[in-house]
Amino acid sequence: MKNGNAVIRVVVLTISDSASRGEREDLSGPAVVAELAGINPEIVATEILPDDRDRIAARLRHYCDSDAADLIITTGGTGLSGRDVTPEATKDVIEREAPGLAELMRAESLKITPLGALSRSVCGTRGRTLIINLPGSMRGARENLGAITRILPHAVSLMSE
């Protein structure tokens, strides 16, 4: 994102067994990139991963520890099914939670649908990288990200101090 002189490097990870196998098109990852366009991000990478806790955690660690990204957004794997492990993988990686971001996303989602209560999204930091979990549906990802987009530049700038 370019705000003033700050460029925020963003990685988008879609977590989906079927999309990772090529059985369905990833609509959520591109929707996340489109939602961020208004704040002009520098998209460093987009990837599609299966619902595999260790693989998700490894990719999160890679981007955080290599200082490749200021912001990592995951989409998918936040629901209640047994295969939904993105929050657990994120908790394996983060050093500090940022619960207010997840709370804001859930609060805004609940204004639209009671199904927002089913989200288990986690937000937190590792080093100087902010990690945000979004739902896997295109609509849910866009709505949740829309709830926090305006505060992301400030959040990321605080981490670089």
Decide: helix, strand or coil at residue 76.
Answer: coil
> What's the pTM value of the predicted model, to 2 decimals?
0.95
**Residue among 93, 50, 70 at smallest CA distance from 159:** 70
Give pLDDT tens digits for 137-158.
999 999 999 999 999 999 999 9
Residue 18 scores a pLDDT above 70? yes
Residue 160 scores a pLDDT above 90? no
| CATH fold group of domain 2-159 | Molybdenum Cofactor Biosythetic Enzyme; Chain A (3.40.980)
Long-range contact pairs involving 64-69 (C-beta distance under 8 Å, separation at least 24): 64/93, 64/126, 64/127, 64/129, 64/131, 65/126, 65/127, 67/127, 67/128, 67/129, 68/9, 68/11, 68/44, 69/9, 69/10, 69/11, 69/44, 69/45, 69/129
* CB of 143 closer than 8 Å to CB of 104: no
- Mean pLDDT to the nearest integer, 51-60: 99
Give pLDDT tens digits for 91-140.
999 999 999 999 999 999 999 999 999 999 999 999 999 999 999 999 99
